[in-house]
Amino acid sequence: MVPSVRRVFVVGVGMTKFEKPGARENFDYPDMAKEAGQKALSDAGISYSDVKQACVGYVYGDSTCGQCAIYHSLGMTGIPIINVNNNCSTGSTALFMARQLILGADFQHMQNAMEELNSIAKNITVFEMQMILFENKMLML
């Protein structure tokens, strides 16, 4: 018997100009997250309140850049945020992490503990100068 394969899809994308945060005056991580996040959410046709978890990729910044980028630009909803810093591989690592969280039992367990059974998350967003939404509502920035 062949095991069933669960698939994860990118359903919305938003992008910012590729540049080092702070290169433009008054434009840093939270501004980049807001720009990319709003575009990705719009592209996917969902609201930020639908997002249940985030993976945030960054290179130039402190250990909690993900929390700063999400909470101060998109809203302080209290969702769990995983920070990913892997230099040139940050974007692909954050994307891989989000996929693994969706597919893994830990994500399902966390989702079930965080919300009612009838409102399981459907999308994930990814950010590292871009934001990508996935089927299963998890924000990955």
CATH no. for residue 87? 3.40.47.10
Identify the domain containing residue 82 by its residue range.
10-122
Res 124: pLDDT: 38
- pLDDT-derived band at 4 (thresholds 50, 70, 90) equals low
Round the average pLDDT of the chain to a whole number and report it: 75
Residue 106, pLDDT > 80, answer no
Q: Does 132 fall in a domain?
A: no
Element (H, E) at 13: strand 10-15
- Say whether 110 sits in a helix, a strand or coil: helix
Q: Does 1 fall in a domain?
A: no
Q: Does 136 fall in a domain?
A: no
Q: Does 138 fall in a domain?
A: no
Q: Does 131 fall in a domain?
A: no
Rounded to two decimals, what is the model's pTM? 0.68
- Number of domains into which the chain is organized: 1
Alpha helices in the chain (DSSP H): 29-44, 65-71, 90-103, 105-114
Q: Does 58 fall in a domain?
A: yes
Residue 126, pLDDT > 50, answer no
Q: Does 23 fall in a domain?
A: yes
Question: CB burial class (10 A; 0-12, 13-18, 19+) of residue 25?
Answer: exposed
pLDDT in tens, 64-93: 888 888 888 888 888 888 999 999 999 899
